[in-house]
Amino acid sequence: MTTALAPALAPVPVSLPAPAFALAHGHEPAHVHAAAFPLPLAHGVGSQHDLPLSPFYAYAGAFTALLVSFLALGLLWSSSRFRGDLAGRPLPAALQRAADAPSTRTALRLLGTTAALVFLLHLLLGPDDPDRNPAPGALYVLLWVGLVPASLLFGPVWRLLNPLRALHALHPPRNPRPLPAALGIRPAAAGLLLFTWLELVAPDNTSRATLLTALALHLGVQLLGAARYGDRWFAHADPFEAYSSLLARLSPLGRRADGRLVLRSPFNGLDSTPQGPGLVATVCVLLGSTAYDGLSDNPRWITALQTSPLGPVPTATLGLLAAVALSAACYGLCAGALRLMDRELTTPLTSFAHSLLPIALGYLTAHYFSLLVTEFPRTVIMAGGADNAPSPAPPLSPGGLATLQVAAVVTGHVLGVVAAHDRSVRLFPPARAVAGQLPLFVLMIAYTLGGIGLLVA
HEC string for the chain: CCCCCCCCCCCCCCEEECCCCCCCCCCCCCEEEHHHCCCCCCCCCCCHHHCCCCHHHHHHHHHHHHHHHHHHHHHHCCCCCCCHHHCCEECCHHHHHHHHCHHHHHHHHHHHHHHHHHHHHHHHHCCCCCCCCCHHHHHHHHHCCCHHHHHHHHCCHHHHHCHHHHHHHCCCCCCCCCCCCCCCCHHHHHHHHHHHHHHHCCCCCCCHHHHHHHHHHHHHHHHHHHHHHCCHHHHHHCHHHHHHHHHHHHCCEEECCCCCEEECCHHHHHHCCCCCCCHHHHHHHHHHHHHHHHHCCCHHHHHHHHHCCCCHHHHHHHHHHHHHHHHHHHHHHHHHHHHHHCCCCCCHHHHCHHHHHHHHHHHHHHHHHHHHHHHHHHHHHHHCCCCCCCCCCCCCCHHHHHHHHHHHHHHHHHHHHHHHHHHHHHHCCHHHCCHHHHHHHHHHHHHHHHHHHHHHC
pLDDT at residue 430, rounded to an integer: 80
pLDDT one-digit tens code per residue, 340-361? 887 778 888 889 999 999 999 9
Residue 405 confidence class, pLDDT cut points 50, 70, 90: confident
Residue 143 confidence class, pLDDT cut points 50, 70, 90: very high
pLDDT higher than 50, residue 8: no
pLDDT at residue 94, rounded to an integer: 94
pLDDT at residue 435, rounded to an integer: 76
Q: pLDDT higher for 391 or 258?
A: 258
Enter the pTM of the model. 0.86
Question: What mean pLDDT do residues 152-157 have?
Answer: 94
In terms of average pLDDT, the best of 68-82, 335-349, 386-400 is 68-82
Question: What mean pLDDT do residues 92-107 have?
Answer: 94
High-pLDDT (> 70) share of the chain, % = 87
pLDDT at residue 53, rounded to an integer: 64
